[in-house]
Amino acid sequence: DGGITQSPKYLFRKEGQNVTLSCEQNLNHDAMYWYRQDPGQGLRLIYYSQIVNDFQKGDIAEGYSVSREKKESFPLTVTSAQKNPTAFYLCASSMGRGGKTQYFGPGTRLLVL
Amino acid sequence: RKEVEQDPGPFNVPEGATVAFNCTYSNSASQSFFWYRQDCRKEPKLLMSVYSSGNEDGRFTAQLNRASQYISLLIRDSKLSDSATYLCVVDATGFQKLVFGTGTRLLVSP
């Protein structure tokens, strides 16, 4: 089946710890995105990548890092510098660049212990 | 002004009712418009793209009004399964990304 997978579904982080969220797609999409969703708020863009080995900061990149070494993978690291990491993290991908239809993975819920 | 604005609702309607949501956007140069549906604690899923001439998909009709910079979603014959949050999505300045509204919550009751 084609689609986007994210793992884990739930993730617990201790204070001062870095954690990495996985996002994989087999849709052969060029562009991939990471969003954060807080209760009652819209999706906010963290990082996006339009091509392998290239990525751009979104609106709330501070405290996060990404890599795009392979077309199908776009992992997100939540670093200890992110002071309020508890949120629902969504990965998406789209064919081509710009305002194209985005398809989402099932998300990862990150909780701080 | 926010790039995309929606009434958060909730809109409470009985089964079989017709309900409409509007969404306004600030960038007059925007070219791509979408409605997504998000169920509680789930990922957003594409409901439909919105085309300049308006488009229909079964019970759902989307309209674009460029002059007033708003898009609308009309749902006819509401079903219980239509209960969800509907996200208005517009491409942003520079067209490198999409901007998501905060969503309008719909509750359909028996």
pLDDT tens digits, residue range A34-58? 999 998 788 999 999 999 999 999 9
pLDDT of residue B84: 97
Q: How far apart are CA B40 and CA A46, in angstroms?
A: 22
Residues of B in contact with A105 (CB under 8 A): 43
DSSP one-letter code for B48:
E
Q: How far apart are CA B70 and CA B64, in angstroms?
A: 6
DSSP per-residue string spanning A19-57: EEEEEEE-S--SEEEEEEE-TTS-EEEEEEEEETTEEEE
Distinct helix (H) and strand (E) counts, chain A: 0, 11
For an interface test with A, the pick among B5, B88, B96, B99 (most A C-beta atoms closer than 10 Å) comes out as: B96
Q: How far apart are CA B50 and CA B25, in angstroms?
A: 13
The amino acid occupying position A35 is Y
Question: What is the β-pairing status of strands A108-112 and A19-25?
Answer: unpaired
* CA dihedral sign, ordered A97, A57, A48, B48: negative
A107: left (phi over 0), alpha (psi -120 to 50) or beta: left
Cβ B7 vs Cβ B21: under 8 Å: yes
In chain A, which residue's Cα lies nearest the Cα of B41? A88
Residue B104 is encoded by which pair of tokens?
């309008």
Find the CB nearest B91 among A33, A45, A99. A99
pLDDT tens digits, residue range B7-35? 999 999 999 999 999 999 999 988 889 99
Find the CB nearest A106 among B43, B49, B87. B43
Q: Say yes or no: A85 contacts chain B, CB-CB below 8 A.
A: no
The amino acid occupying position B82 is D
Q: Give me the torsion for CA of B52, B29, B105, A108, rounded to 10°.
A: 110
Cβ–Cβ gap A100/B96 under 8 Å:
no
Give A97's pLDDT tier (boundaries 50, 70, 90): low
Q: How far apart are CA B66 and CA B58, in angstroms?
A: 24
pLDDT tens digits, residue range A98-113? 668 899 999 999 998 8
